[in-house]
Amino acid sequence: MNEDWTNVVVRLGGAETLEVTARETKAFLRPREITNAVDLLRLILAYCLGERGLRSTAAWATSIGLVDISNVALLYCLRQCGDWLAMLVGQVLAATAPPASRGRMIRIIDATSVPKKGSEARKKNKVWRIHSAFDLPQERFGYFELTDQQAGETLDRIPAVAGEIRLADRAYLQPDRMAPLLEAGADIVIRAGWKSARWLDAEGNVFDLIAALRKAAGRGLIDRPIWIKRKRGAPLALRLVAVKKPVQAAADARRKAHRDAQRGGHQLSKQTLDAADWVILVTSLKPRDFATADVLALYRLRWRIELGFKRLKSLIRLKGPPGADEGSARPYILAHLLAILLLEPFVDELEDSPRLAEAA
C-alpha cells in the first residue's frame, strides 16, 4: 500500500507540487491535525474511494498513524478540496493529452450521470452530470467537466483541438455549436435523426430527407452534400452519409420506436419508421480524404466511451455521493475521476479480458 501510494504521489508531481497546489486552492493552508498536503490527499481519497463512512475513515487514519482526526474535521477537509481535486484532474489530463502534430486526434464526446442524494432529489430526478471526452488512439479520457442536471450536453463545451475529429451521438446535432468547432479547425461526425435539423439543398430549399431515404432504399446508401439551417449565420455546408441497417437491426429499431411511442402516448409516424431502418450521419470530412466506409468506421468507434464509462462505474465504483451537500459531493466525484485517470495506464492488466479491438 505504501509503495503504491508513493507511486501515485510521484505521478501527481511529487510532494512539493502537491503542497503548492493545495495551498493555491486553499485546500491546505496551515498544519494542524493534518501536517502536509500528501496526507490530506491520501485521507480524502481513502474516504471517497473506499466503502467506509466518515467515522470509519477517521478511525482507519488513526489506526495506521496517518492522522488523528474526527469525522467532523474530515468532512470540513473534504468540503475544502473541490478546487484542488479539479486542478489535479486537469493536470493529469494535460499530461496525457496528445499534441495535434502527432496526427489527428479522434475525440468522442458524451456525458454520464450519477444520482444526487436525498428523497427530494430522487423525486425530481436530480443528478450530477459528468461531461467527458474520450481520446483515441490513446484510449484515455481527455476532458472532464462536472455540473448538475441543469447544464445540458453541448457539443462545444469541450474546447476544440485543431485537427481533431469529434464524434458524437444525435443529442449533439447542434448547428450553432457545430460552427465554432469547424472554425477552430476541427472536423465532426455526428449521428442525426430525420427531424433533428432543418435540412436544405444547395439552393437553400427544404430538403426532404425521408424522400431521399426511400429513393435510396434499393441501394442502401447515401453520400451527398447537405446544408443545415442555423438560427444565426449562414447554413452549414456538410456531408450527409446514411447507410441502411441490416434486417435484424432495422427490426429492432422499429420495435424500439413502437415502445417509445407507447410509453410517450403519441402516434408513431410512417416517417419515423422509415428512418429507423437507417444510420444517418453528418460530417465535415471531405470525400476525397474519407470514403463513405471510413466515415462509418469512425462513428463505430463511439462505443469506446461507453466502455470508458463502464470502467468508471465498475472498476472505480463511481456512484451517487453519500451526501446532498454540494461542497462534499463535488470533491467525492472528482476523487473518482482522478482515480480512473491514474489507473488508465494499467487498466488492461486489471481487466479480465483484452480490449475488443485487439480480440477481434
Segment 188-233, tens digit of pLDDT = 999 999 998 999 999 999 999 999 999 999 999 999 999 999 998 9
Please say if the pLDDT value at position 359 is more than 80.
Answer: no
What pLDDT is recorded for position 329?
A: 87
Please say if the pLDDT value at position 96 is more than 70.
Answer: no
Mean local confidence (pLDDT), 228-253: 93
The distance of Cα 235 from the centroid of its chain, to the nearest Å, equals: 28
What pLDDT is recorded for position 349?
A: 53
pLDDT tier at 1 (50, 70, 90 boundaries)?
A: low
What is the rounded average pLDDT for all residues in the chain? 87
User: Cβ contacts of residue 217 below 8 Å, gap of 6+?
Assistant: 244, 277
d(CA 43, CA 37): 10
What pLDDT is recorded for position 352?
A: 44
pLDDT tier at 354 (50, 70, 90 boundaries)?
A: very low
What pLDDT is recorded for position 353?
A: 40
User: Cβ contacts of residue 297 below 8 Å, gap of 6+?
Assistant: none
d(CA 206, CA 226): 11
